[in-house]
Amino acid sequence: MKSNLVYSLWFIVYSLWFMACNLWLAVCFAYPPTKEAKPVFIKELSITEVTKIALEENLDIQIAKFDAYINRLDYDRANGIFDTFLNLEASFYDNQKKSSSTFSGTKSIEESYGVSLEKKLPTGTDIKIETSQKRNWTNSSFSSVNPAYEAVAKVILTQPIGKNFFGLIDRSRIKITKLDIENSDWTSLDSIEESLASAQKAYWKLVLKEEELTIQQNMLKEAKDFYHIYTEKFKLGLAEEPDVYASQANLKLKEFDVSLAQLQRQTAKNDLLFVLNEEDTGIEIKPKDILDIFTQRVDIYTSLSGAVGNRRDYKVASNQVLSQKIDLVLKGNSLWPQIDLEASFAKNGLSNDYKTSWEGITGEDNPEVFLGITVRLPLENRVARSDYHESRQNMQKYILNLKRTERLIFKELNNQVASLNSLSQRVRVYQEVVKLQEKKLKAEKKQFKSGRSSSDLIIRYENDLLGARLSLARSLFDYRLSLIDLDLAKNTLLSKYWQDEL
């Protein structure tokens, strides 16, 4: 009896424990632990910090740098005509052909080895130094030296004195290549500066969208308060039903405007992250700068001072004129006939021993001297004449292009300064308009409290103030962009933040 009671107690305890475990498992699986939200990383950036990051990380800037680095390789490529070449030669000749001469043997073997160096000098001189070793063996009984070892050392010079007069064409092409590389550097710097301007404009656009969002949020708060006031008045019987609907509709529109401003701010942030080459789009950017109301008047004469000398497109146009002058001289020299002076000096040693044959070059006086001249004159010379006349026409074209570039610089700077001063005036106008709209709304709200105004008038005045504030913010934004464009027009934006060489 006692044992049955003990078993019953154990069964009850086990059943309770089993039910408790099942209940715990059911709770765990029915309500899994929630994951903690990933914290949002907020990065505060100023215009200076954005500029620094863009110079280091912007993909367009990096591509522009590589364009310059690649084009600089053309200088070594152009100097490749002065490279030194090492030539190695080896041959074996076994002759067992029948011969009509009774003095020739029935078999002869010739082995030949040679080493030579050749190089073109900046003076246009082609110089070649060569040494060779030949071994001749024959079964003819009439050969005086058998086997015969002949060692030869020879120097060959060729000097053009007509076309490519003392290397004129070669050196001119290298000068043109250097100017082309310099122009490539200017073009790359222009691309870098434009990309930098795009990064700064993207930053100021984010500042604008931040300001617009703040303005919309403030107006939403005003709309909520206005709707709350009309709701309370309607409950007390002091307001008409259409006024409540009007304030509610105004509230809905303001809520939509805020959501739209948030979307535009997100888009502006993503644009900035792209130009900064930041892959994590979850980062929140908080600008340190604001669209302040400080503006200044710019003088055209101050802006033009030194602007032409700083403009890279003017430097490119100047280099094109200089390059074309060199090309004109080059094409003029190409009209000359090709006249080459040739000279060679050689000594040899002959022996039946390999070592003795080389000693004979310095130990014996048996030189070989050659002097000659070669003239090659095209009778019509149509290709060279056409190239020369084309070069003359290009010269005139590049001079006109230089003048056009100079006039274009004056026009761009004049227009940019005028636009900047106009924007400065527009900012001052909207500053006054905002103040007047604020006073107008404030006065109308006083009349509203005394029951002498309507919801439609208050909403319209609030929208007038909203439009004025947004117009002021956009005018300040346009003024900021115009300052950047003026620095671009003067080619001074990059030098403010980057003094390193490309």
Task: Check residue 235 and give its pLDDT.
Answer: 82
pLDDT for 19 equals 56
**What is the separation of C-alpha 404 from the centre of its chain, rounded to a whole number of angstroms?**
26
All residues at 6 or more sequence positions from 8 whose CB lies less than 8 Å from its CB, including other chains? none
Separation between Cα atoms, residue 36 and residue 56, nearest integer Å: 35
Contacts of 71 (CB under 8 A, 6+ apart): 180, 181, 184, 185
Question: b/e string for 197-215 if b means 16 or more Cβ within 10 A?
Answer: bbbbbbbbbbbbbbbbbeb
Residue 29: pLDDT over 60: no
- Mean pLDDT score, 390-418: 94
Residue 39: per-residue pLDDT: 59
Among candidate residues 181, 176, 96, 177, the one with its CA nearest the CA of residue 138:
96
pLDDT at 23 over 60: no
Residue 124 backbone dihedrals phi, psi, to 5 degrees: 90, 0
Does 298 or 200 have the greater pLDDT score?
200
CATH 1.20.1600.10 domain range(s) in the chain: 45-73+172-324+389-497
The two tokens of residue 312 are 């890279």
pLDDT confidence of residue 346: 94
- Given a cut of 80, whether residue 103 has pLDDT beyond it is no
Q: What is each CA distance from 294 to 118, 211, 409, 454, 471, in whole angstroms?
A: 70, 16, 27, 38, 16
Measure Cα distances from 391 to 106, 281, 395, 403, 444 in Å. 64, 54, 6, 19, 77
452 Cβ contact partners less than 8 Å away, ≥ 6 residues apart: none
17 — pLDDT class (breaks 50, 70, 90): low
CATH, range 45-73+172-324+389-497: 1.20.1600.10
Region 143-153: mean pLDDT is: 82
> DSSP 3-state assignment of 90?
strand
- For the stretch 338-351, pLDDT in tens is 999 999 999 998 88
State yes or no: pLDDT of 406 exceeds 80.
Answer: yes
Residues 6 or more apart in contact with residue 236 via CB below 8 angstroms:
none
Residue 233: pLDDT over 70? yes
Asked whether residue 222 carries a pLDDT value surpassing 70, the answer given is yes
| Predicted pLDDT at 356 | 81
Rounded mean pLDDT, 249-268: 95
Mean pLDDT, rounded, of the chain: 88
- Say what the pLDDT of residue 152 is: 93
- Mean pLDDT value across residues 37-58: 86
HSE toward the beta carbon, residue 140, CA cutoff 13 A? 21
What pLDDT score was predicted for residue 485? 95
The pLDDT of residue 6 is above 80: no
Q: Residue 5: its pLDDT value, please?
A: 43
Tell me if 151 sits within 8 A of 348, measured CB to CB. yes
Please name the residue that has the structure tokens 């949002």: 40
Which one has a higher pLDDT value, 108 or 396?
396
